[in-house]
Amino acid sequence: MLLHECIPPIAALVLKIDFLIVGQGLAGSLLAWHLLEGGKRVLVVDRDEPDTSSKVAAGLVTPLAGSRFNLPVSLDERLDYARGFYWKLEELSGEPLFHHRRIARLFQNPGEKSAWTSRLENEGERYARYHGALEIDQARFRLPYGGFEMREGGWLDVPAFLEFTRQTLLESASYAIGRVNSADVALDEAGIRWKNIKASKIIFCEGWQGNQNRFFDWVPMNPALGDILELDIPELSDESRIISRGGWLIPLGEGRFRTGSNYRHQFESAGPGEAGRNEILKKLEAITPVIPVVVRHRAAVRPIIRRSQVFMGIHPAHPQVAFFNGLGSKGVLNGPWHASRLAAHLLSGKALPPEADLQTNLL
């Protein structure tokens, strides 16, 4: 059956639902699963573009990110929740979605080495779950300052997750291709109306252009373009770990790898370019001296809010309108936990985590 044949005939009659979700990226998909689990009727409307942030993302889960190896207070809880969530979907779909992998974390400079040493000396017990000894072939990987093996990491096959979500939504006529223009959304006491859809609430999960919207034009979006390359490196085909040193290298099997990424806050076009490709290849050189063959180059824009803040909740003036955005570069790890909190807020008024609640973070 063709995709458009499965789409509900939204031109014909008024369709009453609980939640209209705008955007089927990671944010909209995660929220849809949680609202469906709460027994609600949803419709997800998406523009179905080829190169969105979610479709291009590497999907990495890196528990200890950055040069200071910060371990956020709720990391255990978020990580366990995310993995449990993805594994549950894996069982439903029968396809591998989350690839649990160790990460060979190679220090970039002496500063990183001493930051890590100090973490272990002062907070060894907290970090115990997340590291082990590193063994690595120094002829194939650059290790001038040493490193460690980071545990509990991996990567989500985000396109496969999105496609499984879409197929599941289609089965209950809960998905449509289309563009929701906020100017066409009418509000009344019962909720919202968009075309022939009536819903109690509309939730905008629009990604990096989330403030090109009449309800949320005040949100401080700070999007960043990022590039990703797919490579053939047969010399490294026996490596199963993710390698990380500034950039990262993810083994996909049979000598194929994915590598990235960069952050460009100033960009003229949202597509891939020569400068991005060169930037990524330079990062790769810091990981391995082996020369790759580039087989694919993609780029997309990450939705980042302020420095990197998940932003969600109900509009301060319009209780029928909500927002879920700013997943940034940790969307795969943090997204499920935030979606569960937002769903509980929408379903039963449970308080949101204050650091993510847009009502407590208004400008």
Can you give the binding site for ligand FAD, defined by CB under 6 A?
A: 22-28, 45-47, 49, 52-54, 56-60, 179-180, 205-209, 226, 228, 260-261, 300, 302-303, 325, 327-333
**Nearest residue to ligand FAD, by Cβ distance, number only:** 25
Q: Give the Cα separation of 68 and 186 in Å (integer).
A: 47
Q: Give the Cα separation of 360 and 363 in Å (integer).
A: 9
State in angstroms the smallest separation of the CB of 89 from ligand FAD: 16
Which residue number, 53 or 288, has a Cβ lying nearer to ligand FAD? 53
Q: Give the Cα separation of 198 and 191 in Å (integer).
A: 7
State in angstroms the smallest separation of the CB of 86 from ligand FAD: 12
Which residue number, 93 or 308, has a Cβ lying nearer to ligand FAD? 308
State in angstroms the smallest separation of the CB of 118 from ligand FAD: 27
Distances (CA, A) of 258 to 58, 243, 329: 8, 11, 16
Q: Give the Cα separation of 287 and 247 in Å (integer).
A: 8
Which residue number, 81 or 208, has a Cβ lying nearer to ligand FAD? 208
What is the 3-state composition of the chain as percent helix, strand, coil, each rounded to the nearest 5? 30, 30, 40
**Does residue 162 contact residue 207 with C-beta atoms inside 8 Å?**
no
SS3 string, 307-322, reads: CCCCEEEECCCCCCEE
State in angstroms the smallest separation of the CB of 44 from ligand FAD: 9
What angle do the packed helices 75-93 and 331-348 form, to 10 degrees?
90
State in angstroms the smallest separation of the CB of 140 from ligand FAD: 23
Which residue number, 63 or 292, has a Cβ lying nearer to ligand FAD? 63
Which residue number, 113 or 198, has a Cβ lying nearer to ligand FAD? 198
State in angstroms the smallest separation of the CB of 154 from ligand FAD: 10
Which residue number, 46 or 112, has a Cβ lying nearer to ligand FAD? 46
DSSP for 237-249, written as a single string: TT--SEEEESEEE
Q: Give the Cα separation of 246 and 280 in Å (integer).
A: 10
